[in-house]
Structure 1
Amino acid sequence: MKKLIYIFLLTIFLYSCKSLQKPAIVTSKQVAQKTGSYTFTEKTGLEKPVKPTKKELKAIEKAKQIALQDSIEQSKIKVVIEEDTPQDFTPTFEVSDYIKQQILNVAAESLGSPYRGGGTTPAGFDCSGFVKYTMDQFDIALPRNSAEMAKTGKRILKKDAKPGDLIFFNTNGSNISHVGIVTENSDGVIKFIHSSTTRGVVYSSTSDGYYARTFVCVNRILE
Structure 2
Amino acid sequence: MYLLAECAFLSLMFSLYWLCRQRRRYLIRRIGKRAFDNVYHVGRNIFFMLRRYTLEISGDTSALSRGCILYSFHFGVWELMPPTLAKMGYRLGIIVNRNSETNGPIIGKLFDTLLHRWRSMIGVTVFYKENTLEIVRFLKSGGIFGILVDGDTMFQKFPKTQKLARLCRVPLIPFAAYRRAGKGVLDVGCDLPDLVRTMPNEYMWFYKSR
Q: Which has the higher helix share?
A: 2
Q: Do Structure 1 and Structure 2 share a fold, with TM-score over 0.5?
A: no
In terms of Rg, which structure is larger? 1
More RCO (CA 8 Å, sep 6+): 2
TM bucket (normalised to shorter chain) is under 0.3
